[in-house]
Amino acid sequence: MLTRLSLAAVLASVLCLTACGSSSGTAAPASAGGGSPSLTVFAAASLTETFTELGRQFESTHSGTKVTFNFGSSATLAQQVTQGAPADIFAAASPATMKTVTDAGLASAPTVFVRNTLQIAVPEDNPAKVASLEDLTDPKVKVALCAEQVPCGAAAVKALDAAGVKVTPVTLEQDVKATLTKVRLGEVDAALVYRTDVIASGGKVRGIDFPEAGQAVNDYPIAALTKAPAPDLARQFVDLVLSQQGRDVLTKAGFQAP
Amino acid sequence: MSLHAHLVVERPGFRLDVELRAAAGEVVALLGPNGAGKTTALRGLAGLTPLNGGRVELDGAQVHRLPPERRRIGVVFQDYLLFPHLSALDNVAFGPRCQGLRRAAARRVAADLLDRVGLAGHAHARPAHLSGGQAQRVALARALAVRPRLLLLDEPLAALDAHTRLEIRAELRRHLAAFDGATVLVTHDPLDAMVLAHRLVVVENGAVVQTGTPGEIARHPRTDYVARLVGLNLYRGEADGNHVAVGEVRFSSAERLAGPAFVAFPPSAVALYRTRPDGSPRNLWKATIDGIERHGDNVRVHLHGPIALAADVTPSAAADLDLTPGQEVWAAVKATETHVYPA
Amino acid sequence: MPWPLLVPALVGLAFLVLPLAGLLARAPWQSLPQRLAEPLVLEALRLSLVTATIATAVCLLLGVPLAWLLARTTLPGRRVLRALVTVPLVLPPVVGGVALLLVLGRRGLAGQWLYDAFGVSLPFTTTGVVVAEAFVAMPFLVIAVEGALRAADQRYEEAAATLGASRWTVFRRVTLPMVAPGVLAGAVLCWARALGEFGATITFAGNFPGRTQTMPLAVYLALETDPDAAIVLSLVLLAVSVIVLAGLRDRWTGTA
């Protein structure tokens, strides 16, 4: 009981510092805008560019509506949602992270809206002359993978297993962007990252397709949350993401249609 | 091991320019008021303050271009500066260690020196646990441990209380007598200087104003500062045969002199009268009492008139005369106690 | 006791201590023993202690002379130099890590030469962890030691010189012992900062169990999937640092 109370006290004071400008300590972002409707979207970090674009489009067709994003690691976001963060929509980079939210009864019937596949990312000049997954087994080739705890790491393990290839990485990075940075700076010779991240790097990193990537397709589910402060807007935004218009934005960034 | 130095140090608004000599075994005291440049001179000798000119010679060898650690000049600092993290023994052993002795050998040297200054029982005490007098002796032992060619002491007794001072002063005199090198001592206390030194060098405003044995200086002060130090009334006047004129006052003199001359006499040589006394009109003038204070067993009376003056009278005489500030009296000086010497 | 001091003091204390209480309250006490015995935890703990200690040693070796340079010499541009020394304090550690990569990485300005000449590459090695930790922690040591040097009475050094001590002997036998409490305080801060280092380490040295995965990295990754494990790891880190720091204070500085 005491623990609950003390935790609640700390949380309340922190929340109050960051969020509440009004007299109410429970104000949600939906009502914080002072009347104008607002929508809060929690989305996986790999969706940063595309969802920002979709958010702009949504705002232009829903004049006066403000779309706020919280991009981050899917696992972290899922935790924030289950701890009661006031979100309307959750878009995850893996079904597993979505499952923690649906299991908590905070979302139902998520829809897979895109899939992402892995590519071998190499520095522009490809110093180790990597051409296939097989090449990554060479002990002289320095390889970076995502840590298994994050979706791109889980996908990499799946792909490598499917190919029957054993790779000893020099590092297990905390997220896909960090992994890509190591490639970009030439500190590693190759890494397994998402196709979309290679495209987003704007040519600084080269992507090499490999057949086993099909074994480790990553599905991105999206769901409007059951406790969404703005349920109507939430549904409309999910519809936009699933529409042809949304799909165009996503595929341009390297995502594949499910 | 003799010292011959000419020290020039220039700072904005201050210039030190001092000649200094000290023979082997001789103790020379640099005496002067605060800010006269005594400590600067000492630091110049030790190499802690760079010289803008001049030189420092020890036994004819120039050392003023050497850094302090290569001059072999021992220094006892005013507040001793014993290393707080080392025992008394290791403080004294520090110098010998730096000269290349092994730890055990250096400690033997140190133990011997501590024994000589009577602190064998405190060898393992940290400086924080030593009394002022003990710390002073450790500092002396530490400075002597490097077998210095020249020993410098900066106000060696200033940090001590009156009682300890008496004891340490006598002891220091003994240790300095046993030291065969030259010693230069800085002090503003005339008693320290007189007791400890063979020769005094009086410094004022960065320049030497007088040198001589304590006796010479006490008898024939040449500046107000020295005169006050040794407790004399001092005036500069013009001598003409057996008289010296100081303003309106004429002093008679036993010696014949001509030209600028000093007149000096102790306050006890002054007699005060309520009415003009009969007899010799010389050495007599009218003065006004400024203040009265106790001075030892006597009463010291400060007066002004044609010349400023301090006079000592016995308490009974003071009572008889019924002296009060502002009162006018006649002052007379006994000719036999007046020293007259060329300026 | 004046309340304008007391009230903010208590609020401040609560602010610092309550999050710890949160960790303790949420710790999975039942499964704690078996979680602690996991090789991954012990490995990360060992690596953290070893690298933080070596990093502190490196900081002492380089930082004390640097502090001396800043405190005791009249170099031109010393003010700028002092400001530069504190850069790692204000730089986000992740940026510090990137900066280290740009200089000491395989393709970095100096790292390239190291790699070509000796085949040495610091990223993804335990040495890299030490480098990242030392980079971030060194300012704490330098600032503490410089402060101690400035506060120390330089006349003791003069006294040592008159006793025949060379500059180096003066530093070793007089200056250093006299500023020892400051050096110790700096080293403790430095060690604590190195122990908690995350951003620069994961960026420069990467994350690989047993080689570069220190406790903070393990905590961060555990947080992704298993918050309970993260809490356990944090508690271990906390307990070890409290024990070490409290022990050091009592033993070496005599202040309980």
Q: State pLDDT tens for residues C122-132.
A: 999 999 999 99
Pick C224's closest partner by Cβ from A7, A149, A171: A149
Chains B, C: CB contacts under 8 A, how many? 62
Compute the count of residue pairs across chains A and C with CB atoms less than 8 Å apart: 80
Q: Which residues of C touch A174 (CB under 8 A)?
A: 202, 207, 217, 220-221
Measured between CB atoms, does A126 come within 8 Å of chain C? no
> What's residue A35's pLDDT?
60
Chains adjacent to A (≥3 CB pairs closer than 8 angstroms): C
Task: Judge if B109 and B80 occupy the same domain.
Answer: yes
A251 touching C (Cβ < 8 Å):
no
Structural domains counted in chain C: 1
CATH number at residue B338: 2.40.50.100
Task: Report the C-alpha gap between C67 and B186 in whole angstroms.
Answer: 36
Determine the residue among C154, C157, C158, C163 to mutate to test chain B binding: the one whose Cβ has the most chain B Cβ atoms within 10 Å. Answer: C163
**Could you tell me if A196 and A69 lie in one domain?**
no
Mean pLDDT within B221-237:
86
The mean pLDDT value of chain C amounts to: 89
Q: Are residues A226 and A192 in the same domain?
A: no
Q: Are residues B243 and B184 in the same domain?
A: no
Q: Do chains C and A touch (3 or more CB pairs under 8 A)?
A: yes
Res A8: pLDDT: 40
Same domain, residue pair B207 and B334: no
What are the pLDDT digits (tens) for A213-225? Answer: 888 888 999 999 9
pLDDT at B281 (0 to 100): 59
Is the same domain home to A201 and A228?
no
Let me know whether B293 and B328 are in one domain: yes
Q: Does B77 touch chain C (CB under 8 A)?
A: yes
In a domain, B89, yes or no: yes
Tell me if B125 is assigned to some domain.
yes
Local structure of C1: helix, strand or coil: coil
Chain C partners within 8 Å of B67 (Cβ)? 161
Q: Please report, as a single letter, which amino acid is at residue B140.
A: L
Chain C residues close to B69, C-beta within 8 Å: 161-167
Q: Is A129 part of a structural domain of the chain?
A: yes
Contacts of residue A177, defined as CB under 8 A and 6 or more positions apart, other chains included, come to A45, A197
Instruction: Mutate one of B98, B113, B184 to test the C interface: name it (highest C CB count within 10 A).
Output: B98
Number of domains within chain A? 2
Which chain B residues have a beta carbon less than 8 Å from that of C163?
Answer: 69, 74, 94-95, 98, 142-143, 145-146
A185 contacts chain C (CB < 8 A): yes
CB contact under 8 A, C202 and A178: yes
Res. B340: pLDDT tops 90: no
Question: Would A10 be classed as within a structural domain?
Answer: no
d(CA A192, CA A153): 8
Q: What is the CATH number of the domain that holds A49?
A: 3.40.190.10
A130 shares its domain with A247? no
Looking at residue C106, which CATH number applies to its domain?
A: 1.10.3720.10
- Shared-domain flag, residues B272 and B300: yes
The CATH number given to whatever domain includes residue B138 is 3.40.50.300
Angstrom distance (rounded) from CA C145 to CA C171: 13
Q: What is the pLDDT of residue A6?
A: 41
Pick from C244, C224, C240: which is nearest to C42 by CA?
C240
Distance CA B221, CA B216 (A): 8
The answer to whether the CB atoms of C105 and A73 lie below 8 A apart is: no
The answer as to whether C216 is a domain residue is yes
Residues A151 and A174 in one domain: yes
> Is the domain of A211 the same as that of A226?
no
Predicted pLDDT at B205 = 93
Nearest to C106 by CA among A120, A193, A127: A127
Report ipTM for this prediction: 0.80
| Percent helix, strand and coil across chain C, each to the nearest 5 | 80, 0, 20
Which contiguous run of DSSP H or E holds residue A122? strand A118-123
Top residue of C207, C211, C228 to mutate, by most chain A CBs within 10 Å, is: C207
The verdict on residue A61 lying in a domain is yes
Q: Let me know if residue C165 belongs to a domain.
A: yes
- Which of B180, B213, B246 lies at the terminal end of a domain, its last residue? B213
Of B74, B83, B85, the CB nearest to C162: B74
Task: Tell me whether residue C228 is in a domain.
Answer: yes
Q: Which helix (H) or strand (E) holds B152?
A: strand B150-154
**Distance (Å, whole) CA B315 – CA C237:** 83
Question: Which residues form the domain of B64?
Answer: 3-213
Q: Do the chains contact at B73 and C169, CB–CB below 8 Å?
A: no
pLDDT in the model for residue B255: 75
**Residue C106 dihedral angles phi and psi, to the nearest 5°:** -60, -30
* pLDDT > 60? residue C59: yes
Residue in B closest to C163 by C-alpha: B95
3-state SS, residue C74: coil
CA-based nearest distance A203→chain C, Å = 19
Q: Give how far Cα C192 sits from Cα of B153, B277, C188, Å.
A: 47, 90, 6
CA torsion sign for A87, A88, A93, A97 is positive
Residues B40 and B162 grouped into a single domain: yes
Q: Compute the average pLDDT of residues A133-138.
A: 92
- Statement to judge: residues B202 and B250 lie in one domain: no
Contact between C47 and C129 under an 8 Å Cβ cutoff? The reply is yes
Cβ count within 10 A of residue C39: 9
Across the range B181-188, mean pLDDT stands at: 93
pTM of the model: 0.78
Q: Tokens at residue C77, please? A: 């541009």
Any C CB within 8 A of A172 CB: yes
B84 touches chain C (CB under 8 A): yes
**Pick from A50, A29, A52: nearest CA to A39:** A29
Neighbours of C70 (CB within 10 A): 20
- Check CB contact under 8 Å for A149 and C217: no
Which residues of C are less than 8 Å from A188 in CB distance? 124
**How far is it, in rounded angstroms, from Cα C209 to Cα A207?**
27
Contact yes or no for A173 and C202 at CB 8 A: yes
**Whether B49 and B113 share a structural domain:** yes
What range defines the domain where residue A94 resides? Answer: 38-115+219-252
Same structural domain, B199 and B276: no
- Residues of C in CB contact (< 8 Å) with A are 18-19, 21-22, 25-26, 98, 101-102, 105-107, 123-124, 202-203, 205-209, 212-213, 217, 220-225, 227
Residue C177 and residue B85: Cβ atoms within 8 Å? yes
Tell me the shortest Cα–Cα distance from B107 to chain C, in angstroms: 15
- Nearest CB neighbour to B98, from listed C153, C155, C164: C164
Residue with more model confidence, B323 or A169 = A169
**Average pLDDT in chain B:** 90
| Inter-chain touch A187–C18, beta carbons under 8 Å | no
Q: Has residue A72 been placed in a domain?
A: yes
Do B42 and B109 have their domain in common?
Answer: yes
Domain residues for the domain of C247 are 31-253
Which chain C residues contact residue A171 at CB under 8 A? Answer: 124, 205-208, 212
Residue that is last in its domain, among B184, B213, B242: B213
In a domain? residue C18: no
* Domain count along chain B: 2
Question: Residue C255: pLDDT above 80?
Answer: no
Is A227 found in the same domain as A211? no
In a domain, B226, yes or no: no
Q: Do C206 and A76 touch (CB under 8 A)?
A: no
Indicate whether C174 belongs to any domain: yes
* A18-40 average pLDDT score: 50
pLDDT band at residue B245 under the 50/70/90 scheme: confident
Contact C177 B99 (CB under 8 A): no
Alpha-carbon distance C225 to C171, whole Å?
52
Instruction: State the DSSP H helix or E strand holding residue A238, giving kind and residue range, or none if neither.
Output: helix A231-242
B223 located within any domain: no
Q: Is residue B261 part of a domain?
A: yes
Looking at the fold, whether B136 and B180 belong to one and the same domain comes out as: yes
Same domain (yes/no): A106, A230: yes
Helix segments in A104-214, DSSP class H: 151-163, 176-184, 195-200
Nearest Cα neighbor of C225 from A99, A182, A117, A159 is A99
Whether residue A231 sits in one domain with residue A211? no
Q: What pLDDT shows up at residue C141? A: 95
From residue B188, how far is each of B30, B111, B132, B167, B228 by CA, in Å? 8, 32, 19, 19, 12
Which of the other chains make 3 or more beta carbon contacts under 8 angstroms with chain C? A, B
Q: pLDDT band at residue A3, thresholds of 50, 70 and 90?
A: very low
CB contact under 8 A, B94 and C165: yes
C26 inside domain: no
Do A211 and A124 fall within a single domain? yes
What is the arithmetic mean of pLDDT over A71-87? Answer: 88
Asked whether residue C8 is domain-assigned, the answer is no
Residue C94 tokens, joined = 């992740």
Q: How confident is the model at residue C245 (pLDDT cuts 50, 70, 90)?
A: confident
Whether B and A touch (3+ CB pairs < 8 Å), yes or no:
no
Residues of chain B with Cβ-Cβ distance to C177 below 8 Å are 83, 85-86
Structural domain contains residue B40:
yes
Residues B243 and B147 reside in one and the same domain: no
Question: A174 and C217 in contact by Cβ < 8 A?
Answer: yes
- Rounded average pLDDT over C107-120: 88
Query: Do A236 and A212 sit in the same domain of this protein?
Result: no
C12 in a domain, yes or no?
Answer: no
Report the alpha-carbon distance of residue C51 to residue A150 in Å, rounded: 26
